[in-house]
Homo-oligomer: A and B are copies of this chain.
Amino acid sequence: MDKIFCPESIAVIGVSERPDNLAAGIVGNLQRFGYAGPIYAVGRQPGMRDDIPILPSVEALPEAVDLAVILTPAATVPDLMDACGRKGIRRAVIESGGFSEFSEAGRALEKQVRTVARRWGIRFVGPNCISVINTETGLCLPFTYLDPAALRRGPVSVLAQSGGVSITYALLLSEAGLGVNKVVSMGNKADLDEVDYLTYLLDDPGTEIICLYLESMEAGRRLLELASASPKPVIVQKVNRTSASTQIALSHTAALANDDRIVDAALRQAGVARAVSFDDGVRLAQGFTLPPVRGRDLLVISRSGGHAVVAADAADAAGFRLMPIPQDFADHVRQSFRADVIAPTNPLDLGTVFDFTVYAQITEEALHRLDPAALLLIHTYSAGSEGEISRRMARRIGELIQALNKPIALCAFSQQDEIERLKAHTTAPVFTEIEAAVRALAASRERYARSSVLVPLPPPPKERPHEVEGVLKYSGVLTTDLSLGLCAAYGVPTDEWAVVEDMDGAALVAAALGYPVVLKLLAPAVIHKSDLGGVMLNIADRKALQQAFVALTEQLALEMQDGYRGVLVQRMFSGGREVILGGKRDPSFGPVVMFGLGGIYVETFDDVAFRLAPLSRAEAEEMIAEVRGSRLLYGIRGQPPADMEALVTALLAVSDLMVACPEVVEVDINPLLVFAEGAVAVDARVVVRQ
């Protein structure tokens, strides 16, 4: 990968003398950004471009360059790759479009390119990509004009599925004063993909923060495991959230949409911050350049009372606590700095203090004496005589962040050119929106407060209990007895039940369990056709049992013969709180566990929580707390609290099942009844795919 980001020689293929030649833009960018190695140009027509001779073929190159950059019509690419291979070139960036994103013919062409590359051992970026940039070496491969003055070198590396977005991020990060280190737009990912790039960037000394823009997350699990295990903050902007945008993405980079709620849960579980826009990605990156925020106590210092009220709103919305300020601190400030601080409130209003050197002093004093988890300093000033002293203050804040290792978010309001000057004078990130600053601090807090690391999915056990193997030889939607049996095998609490063939059996079992009982017909057809019924609830006595049994099995006689397994007899439960547990095998993230309250809550309020399996106990507890309706479980309105321990156990059991049984694609326990003591899975439905 180093040869891609730090090549010692480059050949740009596709250059001509024509003014609208795109590949020449690559040569121009390399020259402007001061790339130091030799740059060769290859094109069909000999000539000169930007003082570089255009060589007629790859063969004509004087050396096997470290990196070939190809921007020619798609149809020519396989042969060019072959020529590169023969020449001994082993790394390429294919910027040409017209491959799988464009047509079926393009898809075939892309396959051909991959085959040629494999033959020669060539690793490549793209096709259909724009950016590979390394500001450390002057590597700048986009074919569109880029201005070195607009692209600042910094600690953030960008990995984007879209070329246009990669450049937008690079420019916005530079404008914010942060700058970029490495940028790559992945294009169609015919060879190298996000896992390859992320692995490299997590290990790259120049990269401190990584910002990913993704339209799909096929390798979601692996990607998040990498991010979760790394000390480097990772920001992900996952777009393509809705059905509307899914359609465009399909025609754009052939992306698969993920269930956005699962994406959300997975990112949080991995300690990855999710950006909701480009600007949001930039502000999150700004926040991660600060020392970690560890705790909820925020101190706000402001010169404008109005901005202070806005900050208080933002702090509250982001889950911060405006820590109380003791009177003696206010007294101390007043005496030591002769600062006419109105009252010991948080936000601390410095509206009457016009000497800004005092701001940095009060900030330092507050960090020492009050030790907040984070400090937000809002500085409103005019560009006139207040400019110079404000820049000095901002520089000092940058030094304080380093010296005290404390997160200080500086949020400045002045005229635009003055803010630009301020940014240039401090190492502190400068925010220009209060909500953005608070959001960045909160994202840092969430990252460093997470209770666990997303662990790699363990391999399924070699041996599984006999009864599990028995159930998993079936395929499709399992009948209730098999589903409950599988759940029980992994520790989901269930009650006793029995499967009977005839009325006599049913009567014996019912008498043993005690009335009232439930009968369920065990036949695949019942599962698929809910209008057939197949369930008889609340059977009070033997007489009712007889009627119910006849009614059920009459249905059977008419409709269902295949896969018939008999009739299930269960106790009828009443009371208890209804919850739903689920498991799903996601194509991107693997096994996922779901928790929600009874049907109405899930459907109407979308009040469910997801986590990737395996679940830790802490994560299971978090899931329950995350569902708002869980309040009902804690015993409101005089009801006793539900047995939360039993519920946690059940969730962990579903997690175990999903990990141990890769054949299971879906589990639906609906409902699990949770009592004051214990819980019982009343109904379950497992889907197996061999």
Task: Spell out A's residues near B (CB within 8 Å).
Answer: 20, 97, 102, 144-147, 150, 160-165, 167-168, 171, 175, 213, 215, 239-245, 247-249, 251-253, 276-279, 303-310, 312-313, 315-317, 322, 342-343, 345, 347, 349, 351-352, 354, 380-386, 413-417, 433-435, 599-600, 603-605, 607, 628-629, 631-632, 636-637
26 residue pairs from A and B, CB less than 8 Å apart: A20-B354, A102-B342, A150-B417, A160-B306, A161-B306, A162-B306, A163-B304, A171-B413, A175-B416, A213-B306, A215-B309, A244-B315, A244-B322, A249-B309, A251-B342, A252-B305, A252-B349, A253-B305, A277-B310, A277-B434, A277-B435, A600-B632, A604-B631, A605-B605, A605-B607, A605-B629
Q: Which of B167, B240, B248 contacts A380 (CB 8 A)?
A: B167
Q: Which of B247, B384, B433, B631 contacts A147 (CB 8 A)?
A: B384
A150/B415 in contact, CB under 8 A: yes
B168/A380 in contact, CB under 8 A: yes
**Shortest Cβ distance from A303 into B: residue:** B164
B605/A304 in contact, CB under 8 A: no
Q: Chain B residues near A145 (CB, 8 Å)?
A: 382-386
**Shortest Cβ distance from A310 into B: residue:** B239
Measured CB to CB, the closest approach of chain B to A633, in angstroms, equals 11
**Shortest Cβ distance from A276 into B: residue:** B435
B415/A309 in contact, CB under 8 A: no
B304/A162 in contact, CB under 8 A: yes
Q: Chain B residues near A97 (CB, 8 Å)?
A: 351-352
A415/B168 in contact, CB under 8 A: no
Give 11 A-B pairs besides A150-B383, A164-B304, A244-B312 with Cβ atoms closer than 8 angstroms.
Answer: A145-B383, A165-B307, A171-B415, A171-B416, A242-B312, A245-B312, A248-B309, A248-B347, A251-B349, A600-B632, A600-B636
> What are the 9 closest A-B residue pairs judged by CB atoms, nearest first?
A162-B306, A164-B304, A145-B384, A245-B312, A150-B415, A165-B306, A242-B316, A145-B382, A252-B305
B383/A239 in contact, CB under 8 A: no
Q: A242-B317, A416-B150, A605-B628 are in contact. Are A308 and B248 (CB under 8 A)?
A: yes
Q: Chain B residues near A417 (CB, 8 Å)?
A: 150
Q: Chain B residues near A380 (CB, 8 Å)?
A: 164, 167-168
Q: Chain B residues near A629 (CB, 8 Å)?
A: 604-605
A343/B251 in contact, CB under 8 A: yes
Query: In the docked arrangement, what's the CA distance between A150 and B383, Å?
Result: 10
Q: Chain B residues near A278 (CB, 8 Å)?
A: 310, 433-434
Measured CB to CB, the closest approach of chain B to A275, in angstroms, equals 11
Query: In the docked arrangement, what's the CA distance between A381 and B171, Å?
Result: 12
B164/A251 in contact, CB under 8 A: no
Q: Which of B20, B162, B307 contacts A162 (CB 8 A)?
A: B307
B313/A245 in contact, CB under 8 A: yes
B248/A345 in contact, CB under 8 A: yes
Q: Chain B residues near A415 (CB, 8 Å)?
A: 147, 150, 171, 175
Q: Which of B161, B162, B171, B241 contacts A313 (CB 8 A)?
A: B241
Q: Chain B residues near A386 (CB, 8 Å)?
A: 144-145
